[in-house]
Amino acid sequence: MSTTCPGGAAAGSHAVADDEREYFDPVNETLEPEDLQELQLERLQTVVAHSYANSDAYRALCDGAGVAPADIKSLDDLRRLPFVDKVTLRDYYPDKLRTCGLDNIIEVHSTSGTTGKPTPIWVSRKDMDLWLERNARTMWMIGLRPGDLLQNMFGYGLPTSIGLQYGAQHAGIGVVPAGIGRQELLIDLMVDLGVTAICTTPSYGLYLAEKALERGIDLSRDTRLRIGLFGAEPWPETGRERLAAAMGVDVFNEYGMGEFLGPGMAAECPVKQGMHVWSDHIYVECIDPVTLEPVADGAPGELVWTSLTSDSTAMIRYRSHDISSLTYEPCACGRSHPRIGRITGRSDDAVSVGGLVVFPSQIEEVLLKYDEFGSNFCMVIDNVNNLDRLTLQVEVRGLDEMSDDAQARLSKGIVTGVKTSVGVTPKIELHAPYALPRDTSGQGKTACHRVDDRRSC
């Protein structure tokens, strides 16, 4: 097998002057399946051996599972390795899974800590080189080229969303590192600088479009925007048309986790039938979250991730709790990497209401059918007389101008839609736009506060 080694000299070999080429990295994006699997196995064996040798904590996990690096003889043997999850990271905080010395670390980021203490994310020189390479592939794949100007509106600082900037710059694309907040300035930058692409959360994009309209600015008409990359929160397919109309962009979905340096894990190609995983760097499994066994190709399950190329942290078989699907079916774009489906929920944030499992994404799917729906909602679950009760707090555009009858009709429609979709009859509370809490760091799994379970209070 012959393949270009990613990162280092190979990363610098991509001549960005050839702006018309279809792939940023033609060799590694279109590897034959057998060559890709051979490369994955070689890198899996290397990273397991490196982690076992350089992290006492990871070696103890493997010893407890009765597996050693020499036992990894095929990709199927990956299933013999122990799982890692957020509990593991908390138990081994802050650096027991680090697999290199501080003399090899050039940057440190952190997860959001929304489900516990923030987890440090160690970045070596090699990690950095490969991170920007993966993100450059993504930028090229969604249609950005030198001459475009990308406005990054994820959080800066400890969050890992700066990887989008690194990748864009590696591909020769200019970046406006805008961050979040100061929405008036963000709108002005898009209009005045001739920004052609944005990356942010879907809900924050809609929020900015609404704030711009309040100033008489239509982002779909009054800017040069043409491409939008959206991630960091689950969003239904019906949200694509709404984002496209509000911002005038071709909408692409992106997936990343802070534990794996965030962006640069998976993204949509122009075919938009799933997100390609850069699986020469990051291996993905899709398992039944109960039995922990693999599910069939294309079937729903929980995504489990393994870094094949990091030399800084033992991130092997990390349970994301994100519910999606995985397919190895060929894609019309020509890329040979597998695709994950849209994130439909999380195995650890599904809410049981009266014995029925409800995902926030299912509620959002119903709400997006109504033009009056703003950009946020919250599921409040409490217990009244020993019975679970679901209250939906919903932001509504133009609420102050709506008559009581119109509000009643809207509430009734939402009740019917939710009942049909998930089997639960909710109580509805309508709120003015921006009245509900938001978390727009771009680092959590959702940019809005979507679940408030009060039953344990």
Each residue's pLDDT tens digit, 368-412: 999 999 888 999 999 887 788 999 999 999 999 999 999 999 999
- Give CA–CA dist 107/263, Å, rounded: 16
Higher pLDDT residue, 377 or 12? 377
Q: How confident is the model at residue 437 (pLDDT cuts 50, 70, 90)?
A: confident
Structure-block tokens of residue 277 = 């995983």
User: In 3D, which of 293, 301, 299, 298 has the Cα closest to residue 321?
Assistant: 301
**Residue 202 DSSP SS3:** helix
pLDDT score of 278 more than 60: yes
Given this model, what pLDDT does residue 401 score? 94
In angstroms, the CA 26 to CA 17 distance is 15
Q: Which two tokens stand for residue 140?
A: 């090229």
Q: Are 23 and 143 in contact (CB under 8 A)?
A: no
C-alpha 86/C-alpha 257 separation (Å) is: 12
Q: 3-state DSSP: the chain helix, strand, coil percent, rounded to 5?
A: 35, 25, 40
What's residue 166's pLDDT? 97
Residue 222 predicted with pLDDT over 50: yes
Say what the pLDDT of residue 439 is: 58
Q: How far apart are CA 416 and CA 84, in angstroms?
A: 41
Give the pLDDT score at 211.
94
pLDDT for the residue 116: 56
Question: Would you place residue 453 in the very low, low, confident or very high pLDDT band (cuts 50, 70, 90)?
Answer: confident
What pLDDT digit, counting tens, does each position of 38-95 carry?
999 999 999 999 999 999 999 999 999 999 999 999 999 999 999 999 889 989 999 9
297-353 residue pLDDT tens? 999 999 999 999 999 999 999 999 999 999 999 999 999 999 999 988 777 767 788
Q: How does pLDDT run across 355-369, given as a tens digit for each residue?
A: 787 888 789 889 999
Would you say residue 17 has pLDDT above 50? no
Give the total residue count for the chain. 457
Q: Which residue type sits at 345? A: G
> Is the separation of the CB atoms in 231 and 444 below 8 Å?
no
Q: What is the mean pLDDT of the chain?
A: 90
All domains of the chain in start order, with CATH: 351-453 (3.30.300.30)
Return d(Cα 25, Cα 43) in angstroms, integer: 19
| CA–CA distance, 203 with 430 (Å, rounded to integer) | 18
The mean per-residue pLDDT over the stretch 102-110 comes to: 96
**Among the listed residues 231, 213, 230, the one whose alpha carbon sits nearest the alpha carbon of residue 222:** 213
The larger pLDDT score, comparing residue 281 to residue 440, is at: 281
Run of H or E residues at 190: helix 183-192
Closest CA to 439 of 43, 138, 121, 112: 112
